[in-house]
Chains A and B, each alone.
Chain A
């Protein structure tokens, strides 16, 4: 598995300016077998909510049983796994005597049966589910450790501090995707868990969609081939990192995850990578101003696997008095600034709608429609149209619908952070736009 990093930026700053923006595209490539992710050992824990509400209606627990059982039957030989049933305790449903087991014909069949016998009843305290998973996965630091948490409700049985404790103990042990089924769970709560544990939140609108989602998770998990990849960022003395943000495939501010390496260098964990994965990061650094004609390195970004830097990108700052150079905005930076604003506008607009502030909701969601349309984020436009009536997408003129299906609203919220890459050309054109267009001074070395 190899990595490459490319930096997109306008390095030219006007005299006196200090803010440097750049988009770094990191691409992993598996020279071997493509997305199979062979090699690294995988450890997978399925966490299924078995609180009483999963019985109401009973289709939820039945679908969860079936989906978990199917997923277990599909595990390849040798994959370490366990099944956790979540109530006010995190109960180990399989294997019966603690610790993960390796999948084989026997354990798959036992594990699937255990899943089919899951019974709903009890409360909800998610930190105990996370703690049980942490306990199971801690003894396997060499494996790629992933969990999948499915719930249908609120974390009612404990305080937010309890939950945060569980997230903190799991941090660095495993990554966790979270899924809410139905409309009675809280998007912000599950997003909080997923963000804390380098995972993603999503909605399962109908119980019968669970099967596919479990299997999609497994496919992603088994495709991972490198664990614990970190973005290491050096910035010069006297500078300030304004933010480090993953911007593709989803927007996720990772600034707060910085782990200091030395006075000028921080590591940002990015979790496990598969062999055909590409992510974009937007970094923004304030540097000390220098004179016209001076060049400074504003950031050195290395991708770390273990103690090895596997790829590197340089973010530069060159001060110029040529306005034609310094006023250009790099297309990638502009695009992802818009995508981040889009996610924020949706979340704020939906919150305003919940609070009954229709004026604010109209402005924010209108802006969201405009941004999503301009950037070609059609998935998000489609979801927005279920919540607002669009009069003019170009100007962002919308009316908030009076009646909105709660599921549609939650779907829009959970998927608000999904971004698109810089717009592709239309089919007739030779679609070169997949490449960044980077107005440049000295081009051929990048």
Chain B
């Protein structure tokens, strides 16, 4: 036998390093633990320098290395983020912990949920009041409208398990910056996607790091599935998007994911001059 790994739970020497091959307990890889500890020590820095220098434009850098280029932990070729430090290989961003105040609580659902179009919590270009998840860059003239699609939901096997969020007021999320992450928030892992599908309505079939919308050189946007478990569909295509493949988006395109989520892409051409708009 070659290397063995001591199991802290049952005390046996396991030949496998992920789970103990006797009792099945999840094992902690000593190298990974050391790397994680080192990362915790450096946690005060909001953005690690190496992440800052990571490519932030262009195609997702499929780093040809077999180790994480931040913490050096081993990685598999198709990993989309580092299992040790959490570095997102696609966006080059760290899931750094936010400042003490976590994400503001979702706005209360419209009382009664009647047919009146409730004012969408649209941070229309202007920085939102709460100082946390602000998009630092001006909007691009493109908007993601997050809603739910009944036909998609009905065609999914989760129809009996998850309930359709009815009524669901569509949310407008202006696309800004170079990348907009799509997923579900994890406070324990310090991961806060730009388009958070865990609230105000939770779609449990969306992966934490499900997809990313990426600004293209010509100013348009593209979608990339990050290796999500349940897949991402574009419009009425039969097959889900292949993982890691960049697909261009056009005005009116519909991105379907999870149990019911539908993200409609809207291009408000021409690019908006920040004219004074009446506040709702």
Could you tell me which A residues sit within 8 Å of B by CB distance? 234-239, 264, 287-288, 290, 294-298, 300, 314, 317, 328-329, 331-332, 334-335, 422-426, 428-433, 435-446
Q: Whole-angstrom distance between the alpha carbons of A234 and B23 in the complex?
A: 11
What B residues does A425 contact at CB under 8 A? 151-152, 154-156
26 chain-A/chain-B pairs, Cβ below 8 angstroms: A235-B24, A236-B22, A237-B22, A239-B24, A294-B26, A297-B20, A297-B24, A314-B19, A331-B158, A331-B161, A335-B157, A425-B155, A430-B237, A431-B155, A432-B240, A435-B231, A437-B157, A439-B161, A441-B208, A442-B186, A442-B208, A443-B207, A444-B81, A444-B208, A444-B209, A444-B226
What A residues does B93 contact at CB under 8 A? none
- Give the one of B16, B24, B207 with max A CB within 10 A: B24
Q: Whole-angstrom distance between the alpha carbons of A332 and B207 in the complex?
A: 17
Cβ A443 vs Cβ B209 within 8 A: yes
B25 at the interface (CB under 8 A from A): yes
Q: Which residue of A lies closest to B22 (CB)?
A: A237
Q: Whole-angstrom distance between the alpha carbons of A331 and B160 in the complex?
A: 8
Which of B81, B157, B227, B240 meets A331, CB within 8 Å? B157
Cβ A444 vs Cβ B229 within 8 A: yes
CB distance from B7 to the nearest CB of A (A): 11
Which of A236, A296, A328, A444 meets B227, CB within 8 Å? A444
CB distance from B78 to the nearest CB of A (A): 10
B266 at the interface (CB under 8 A from A): no
What A residues does B19 contact at CB under 8 A? 296-297, 300, 314
B256 at the interface (CB under 8 A from A): yes
What B residues does A436 contact at CB under 8 A? 157, 229-230
Could you tell me which B residues sit within 8 Å of A by CB distance? 10, 16, 18-26, 79-81, 83, 151-152, 154-158, 160-162, 183-184, 186, 189, 204-210, 226-231, 233, 235-238, 240, 256, 259
CB distance from B183 to the nearest CB of A (A): 8
What B residues does A298 contact at CB under 8 A? 24
What B residues does A429 contact at CB under 8 A? 151-152, 154-155
- Give the one of B18, B19, B155, B231 with max A CB within 10 A: B155
Known A432-B256, A439-B158; further 17 A-B contacts with Cβ < 8 A: A237-B22, A264-B22, A300-B16, A300-B19, A331-B161, A332-B157, A422-B157, A423-B157, A432-B156, A432-B240, A438-B205, A439-B162, A440-B205, A442-B186, A443-B184, A443-B228, A444-B208
Cβ A234 vs Cβ B231 within 8 A: no
Q: Whole-angstrom distance between the alpha carbons of A90 and B81 in the complex?
A: 61
Q: Which residue of A lies closest to B257 (CB)?
A: A432
What B residues does A235 contact at CB under 8 A? 24
What A residues does B80 contact at CB under 8 A? 444
Cβ B24 vs Cβ A236 within 8 A: yes
Cβ B157 vs Cβ A440 within 8 A: no
CB-CB under 8 A for A433 and B231, given A296-B24, A439-B162, A443-B209: no
